[in-house]
A = this chain, B = another copy of it.
Amino acid sequence: MALRALHTANRRAFALGRRNFSEKICMVGSGNFGSALVRILGRNALRHDIFDNEVKMYVHEEMIDGKKLTDIINETNENVKYLKGAKFTPNVVADPDISSAVAGATMICFCLPHQFLKPMVPKIKASAAPGVKCLSAIKGIDFDDKGIVLISDIIRKELKADCSVLMGANVANDMASDAFCETTIGYKDPKNGELFKLAYDDFSLKVGTVQDTVGVELCGALKNIVAIGAGFVDGLGYGGNTKAAIIRIGLKEMVKFCKTFYPNDGISDDTFLESCGVADLITTCYGGRNRKCAEAFAAAGKSKSLETIEAELLGGQKLQGTLTAKEVNHILKMKGMEKDFPFFTTVYKISYEDTPLEAITTTPY
């Protein structure tokens, strides 16, 4: 119904010649996943009247064979560095300047390592449209001395903006070939949830929505801890029963963690049956770099550190799962709750202490 209202408003706006009613989209970030997402935003901006045709993409400039990446993208409609082989529609415009990229934007999507976020805030604030609506596709969580800090809360606080989140079983390279997949948008404001759904829902990407940003966002971070556990099971050579059990135990602890630390934020059981929950967990525990490194770590009987394996296998990319496990453990210790989360605690202790690998199945969960 909210969607229909939007469409009606949109049609009315056009009829009145108020073209500035259009929503202007900017993607801040141009990595593998950000590029896969902006490819869909570009298509949908052309498809739906409510969106301005042009979709801006903020690109951290770099040189590729003597040419600027932004120039290459704008000439070839392809992010040759981070999503090779997948064409954008020509209305996707790369911009190396954050201020001009977000100038007049009414909808900003964030998809970049979260440490790059804060320094950009003043410029975004100065350039974006008043009342800009945000969406975070950043996977991860931050921590301060009081506990967990959600990335979307940083955006909300710093930009004084509403912020939805997008998480799901979305391996970017598979999305690039338009293989059917799903994603989940968690929203606070239903109107903005519907608007971002309109921007992302596509023949190849089915968007589900839930009014639960916290659950969706935490799923995106916590699943990587579970993938580390699943990798241990693979490295130990245990079978499918054991792996399914560990994934399930991990999922239950994800649910418990969300409900324990956000008791008043409307965490919905349904969230965990959405793409951001069980589906993303499955892809991450069967594919994905966290699982792969943890498998290698276990297969080598902990004879190499995770840092060494990370360097050997990931070529500069970072292992999110062990980092999240460490940060979650820090919180659990701080609150005296390690025993209440035996799975997260065991993954942490196997990864960083002398707890044997076998504890992944012998711990009483």
Query: Chain A residues in contact with chain B, CB under 8 A?
Result: 169-171, 173-175, 177, 179-182, 206, 238-245, 247-249, 251-252, 255, 269, 272-275, 278-280, 282-283, 286-287, 361-362, 365
Contact = CB atoms under 8 A, between A and B. Distances in A.
A361 B279 CA distance: 15
A241 B283 contact: yes
Contact of A273 (B170, B243, B252, B365): B252
DSSP class of A's interface residues: helix, strand, loop or mixed?
helix
A242 B273 contact: no
A251 B275 contact: no
Contacts of A361: 179-180
A273 B255 contact: yes
B245 A206 contact: yes
Contacts of A240: 169, 171, 174, 282-283, 286-287
B273 A179 contact: no
A246 to B, nearest CB: 8
Given A241-B283, A242-B179, A273-B252, A365 B247 contact: no
A278 B169 contact: no
A182 B283 CA distance: 21
A365 B206 contact: yes
Contacts of A275: 244-245, 248
A171 B278 contact: no
Nearest to A362: B180
Contact of A247 (B239, B282, B362): B282
A298 to B, nearest CB: 14
Query: Which 10 residue pairs are nearest across A and B when measured between Cβ atoms?
Result: A181-B241, A180-B361, A174-B239, A169-B244, A244-B279, A248-B279, A182-B245, A174-B241, A240-B283, A244-B283
Tell me which of A169, A240, A272 has the highest count of chain B C-beta atoms within 10 A of its own C-beta. A240
A280 to B, nearest CB: 7
Nearest to A274: B248
Contacts of A174: 239-242
Nearest to A236: B179
Given A174-B242, A239-B171, A239-B174, A248 B286 contact: no
A251 B206 CA distance: 16
A181 B242 contact: yes
Contact of A180 (B242, B273, B283): B242
A267 B198 CA distance: 34
A242 B179 CA distance: 7
Tell me which of A238, A248, A269, A273 has the highest count of chain B C-beta atoms within 10 A of its own C-beta. A248
Contacts of A272: 273
Given A169-B240, A206-B245, 15 more contacts: A169-B244, A169-B248, A174-B239, A179-B238, A180-B242, A181-B241, A181-B245, A182-B244, A244-B282, A247-B278, A247-B282, A248-B273, A248-B279, A255-B273, A272-B273
A255 B249 CA distance: 20
Nearest to A174: B239
B273 A251 contact: yes
25 contacts: A169-B245, A169-B248, A170-B241, A173-B239, A174-B239, A175-B241, A179-B239, A180-B238, A180-B245, A180-B361, A181-B241, A182-B245, A182-B248, A206-B245, A206-B365, A240-B282, A243-B283, A244-B283, A245-B279, A247-B282, A248-B273, A248-B279, A251-B278, A255-B273, A272-B273
